[in-house]
Amino acid sequence: MAIEATISSNTRSNSPAAKSTKWKQYYNIVRELALVDFRKKYHDSTLGYFWSMLNPLLIFGVYHFVFSYLFVSKLHKFTLYLLTGVFFYNFFQDATSSAIGALRRRSRLTKTIYFPRYLIVFSSSTTAIFSFAINTLLICAVAMIFDHVSFLQIFVIVPFILLILLATGIGMMIAILFIHFRDISDIWGVLLTLGFWLTPIMYDPHYVPEPLANVALLNPVGRILVMLRGFLIYDNYPPWTFTLSTILFCVGIFILGWWIFVKYEHRIPEYVA
């Protein structure tokens, strides 16, 4: 009922004063939906919110053991290198996967109360951001442990924002696709698994066969990781052409996803169960 009250109070008035605060109202809706999802996600878990950090840490631990002791990696500061890759891809996976069924989970709201439906997808990304923020603190802690602090690290906010835009844009596309084609959920799961290995999470794209390197550097998540590690680990700026093309692509995907969603959102109430 709290969500319905928030949406109703934010959308029932058409006065000029209400319209002037539209974006603040949308923010409140996204926040309320995201908080509810975040609480539900860990409601029945013994460890509760701790799982939001423990789960990617366990994944990181497995890969760190394999590539540090079984298949020794010679990458510079491999622990930090792997940690950034696992946490970033984990966020991308969580944000896009949760967006797939978001409209069905909120079907009652979409059928009874009007508000921009893309806010539901935004709330899914925001829920993933809560966990992502916790993991980001861990990345910063590891960087300090390695005595690796530089002024370039203030620019890590750029790849963070780009990843959020990319995941949200793709999330809007597949959320709309899912209400028409329910197989999208399974297909996307396979694509995420493939994408994990085509993204330079545990390898440097400059030290793998050229075909794989080309794919890794065309992969937008891979490009974002290259930018992040340049600022965080290697203390260098990526080439401006590389950075600009990555920014334009991520912003373009977000705009395309939003446009597709808005174009077809009028069909949502009749298709969601």
How confident is the model over 205-225, as pLDDT tens digits? 878 888 888 888 899 999 999
pLDDT given for residue 205 in this prediction:
83
Rounded distance between C-alpha atoms, residue 7 and residue 11, angstroms: 6
pLDDT given for residue 44 in this prediction:
63
Per DSSP, the three-state class of 204 is coil
pLDDT given for residue 39 in this prediction:
75
pLDDT (tens digit per residue) in 63-80: 767 766 655 566 667 778
Under the banding of pLDDT at 50, 70 and 90, the label for residue 256 is very high
Under the banding of pLDDT at 50, 70 and 90, the label for residue 35 is confident
The neighbour count for residue 218, using CB atoms within 10 Å, is 11
Kindly tell me if the per-residue pLDDT of 61 is higher than 90: no
pLDDT given for residue 216 in this prediction:
84
Mean pLDDT of 55-64: 72
Rounded distance between C-alpha atoms, residue 67 and residue 240, angstroms: 32
User: Taking Cα atoms as reference points, which of 139, 105, 136 lies closest to residue 123?
Assistant: 105
Mean pLDDT of 102-124: 82
Mean of pLDDT over the chain: 80
Amino acid at the residue 241: T
Kindly tell me if the per-residue pLDDT of 160 is higher than 80: yes
The answer to whether residues 111 and 218 touch, using CB atoms and an 8 Å cutoff, is no
pLDDT given for residue 67 in this prediction:
67
CA distances from 42 to 3, 39, 45 (A): 19, 6, 5
Kindly tell me if the per-residue pLDDT of 127 is higher than 90: no
User: Taking Cα atoms as reference points, which of 225, 227, 182, 217 lies closest to residue 91?
Assistant: 225
Q: 265 versus 89: which is more confidently predicted?
A: 89
Tokens of 158: 């750029």
DSSP H helical ranges for the chain: 2-11, 16-20, 22-41, 51-65, 78-100, 102-105, 107-112, 118-145, 157-180, 184-198, 210-218, 220-232, 240-264, 268-271
Mean pLDDT of 225-236: 86
Stated pTM of the model: 0.84
The answer to whether residues 101 and 186 touch, using CB atoms and an 8 Å cutoff, is no
Residue count of the chain = 273
The answer to whether residues 124 and 241 touch, using CB atoms and an 8 Å cutoff, is no
pLDDT given for residue 135 in this prediction:
77
CA distances from 99 to 90, 115, 125, 130 (A): 14, 17, 7, 15
pLDDT (tens digit per residue) in 162-207: 999 999 999 999 999 988 888 888 999 999 999 998 999 888 887 8
Give the DSSP per-residue string, 3-40: HHHHHHHHHS--SHHHHHTHHHHHHHHHHHHHHHHHHH
Mean pLDDT of 239-263: 94
Rounded distance between C-alpha atoms, residue 125 and residue 232, angstroms: 24
Mean pLDDT of 240-249: 94
Q: 131 versus 5: which is more confidently predicted?
A: 131
Under the banding of pLDDT at 50, 70 and 90, the label for residue 16 is low
